[in-house]
Amino acid sequence: MAAEAQSVVGAAREFLAEEYKILDKFEEVMNISLSGIEAIFSSTDIQVASEDAVYNFLLEWARARYLEPEERREILSSRLLPLVRFSHMTCAALQEILACTDDDIDREQVTKHINEVLLHKAYPTQMEGALAADVSTLDWQSAERTYGSKHVKAVAFDRPYPQVIVYMDLTRAECSGFFPSGVILSDWFNLAGQKFYLMANCVLDEETELYSFCLWLGIYGNSISGSSCFDIEFAARTRSSGKFLSKYGGRHTFSGSLLEGCDDLFGVPWSTFIADDSLFIDGVLHLRVDLTAVEQPELQT
């Protein structure tokens, strides 16, 4: 009897995981029970915007379902946060969690996970042996789900000016998927009080009737907060030099439009771009975006 019950439970979990495999809107699962939430988010096959979104949703779900602070904290600590794959969250989101003073989460538990992940992201080779030796710290090895946003690596500097250098790799298969009107958005990253993202896509030039590869830098939200003037450079690694070569750059002040970029980054038609083995090194296009906040002089009164 116990075996039959376990089989029914297993089948139900598989059904939920398959039913909600593509999560466009988390509102769809707000009314599902705790066991159902565990079934859905323990799956590697679900498609979500990002792991950041998973973390934020689980907090929101727990706050809506468990009104008692102690019970909510216990459910998050023992049942929900273990579902989060911290190693696939953005560094910016991890740093925000470390800086917040949220009483709903076990600070010691979460800080331990995040510190391990940040160390592994920064020093993957050095940390691999140390973390593998400790069976309790294997979050960084968790499988990657299918995310709607593309992972990037961001290196930030505070001096002499706030600056972030962002690296994004796209496979030839991913780029081929853009044609004729596809798009991919990156994970977000911070600089000077703004949340940025990258967008790569394929666009048709109506005059020439040729398609081209486009790269854009965007700001999340509907308004500017903090710095609005930035020096921007887009670069791509080439096979011949092995170095990143500048393809687009300039100073831009975000005002009405929260998107800036180049609608023909390589200056060639799409068919030439997608077949260019000097850009696709072993099938991968390596892009770099250098973004620096510019101090604007105060207006004299």
- For 192-202, b/e burial (b = at least 16 CB within 10 A) is bebebbbbbbb
Of 68, 46, 48, nearest to 56 by C-alpha is 48
What's the mean pLDDT when you consider all of the chain?
85
Predicted confidence (pLDDT) at residue 114 exceeds the cutoff of 80: yes
Cβ neighbours, 10 Å, residue 60: 13
User: Predicted confidence band at 301 (pLDDT cuts at 50, 70, 90)?
Assistant: very low
Q: Give domain status of residue 91, yes or no.
A: yes
Q: Show which of 141, 167, 200 is a domain's final residue.
A: 141
Q: Give domain status of residue 299, yes or no.
A: no
Q: What is the pLDDT of residue 255?
A: 79
| Backbone φ/ψ region at 42: left (φ over 0), alpha (ψ -120 to 50), beta | alpha
Q: Show which of 111, 141, 171 is a domain's final residue.
A: 141
What span, in angstroms and rounded, lies between the C-alpha atoms of 129 and 240? 35
Greater confidence, 91 or 124? Answer: 91
User: Predicted confidence band at 163 (pLDDT cuts at 50, 70, 90)?
Assistant: very high
Are 279 and 208 within one domain? yes
DSSP 122-187: HSHHHHHHHHHT-TT--GGGPPP-EESEE--EEEEE-SSS-EEEEEEEEEHHHHHTTTTT-EEEEP
Q: What is the pLDDT of residue 128?
A: 57
Backbone angles phi, psi at 134, to 5 degrees: -110, 105
Are 55 and 169 within one domain? no
What span, in angstroms and rounded, lies between the C-alpha atoms of 86 and 117? 7
Q: Convert 66-83 into a string of H (helix), E (strand) and C (coil).
A: CCCHHHHHHHHHHHHHHH
Lowest model confidence (mean pLDDT) among 83-87, 103-107, 218-222, 231-235:
218-222
User: Predicted confidence band at 227 (pLDDT cuts at 50, 70, 90)?
Assistant: low
Range of the domain at 179: 148-293
Q: What is the pLDDT of residue 40?
A: 92
Q: Give domain status of residue 170, yes or no.
A: yes
CB neighbour class for 84 (10 Å; exposed up to 12, middle 13-18, buried from 19): buried
Are 155 and 131 within one domain? no
User: Structurally, how many domains does the chain consist of?
Assistant: 2
Q: What is the pLDDT of residue 299?
A: 45
Residue range 175-189: average pLDDT? 91
Are 173 and 80 within one domain? no
Residue range 102-126: average pLDDT? 80
Under 8 Å between Cβ of 86 and 98: no
Q: Show which of 141, 158, 193 is a domain's final residue.
A: 141
Are 174 and 81 within one domain? no
Predicted confidence (pLDDT) at residue 292 exceeds the cutoff of 60: yes
Amino acid at 21: K
- Tens digit of each residue's pLDDT (9 = 90 or more) over 36-68: 999 999 988 888 888 999 999 999 999 999 999
User: Predicted confidence band at 196 (pLDDT cuts at 50, 70, 90)?
Assistant: very high
CB neighbour class for 5 (10 Å; exposed up to 12, middle 13-18, buried from 19): exposed
User: Predicted confidence band at 223 (pLDDT cuts at 50, 70, 90)?
Assistant: low
Q: Give domain status of residue 301, yes or no.
A: no
CATH number of the domain within which 202 lies: 2.60.210.10
What span, in angstroms and rounded, lies between the C-alpha atoms of 71 and 75? 6
Residue range 151-159: average pLDDT? 89
Q: Give domain status of residue 56, yes or no.
A: yes
Which range, 5-14, 184-193, 199-208, is most confident?
A: 199-208
Helices 2-19 and 34-41, interaxial angle, to 10°?
Answer: 60
Read off the pTM: 0.74
Q: What is the pLDDT of residue 273?
A: 97
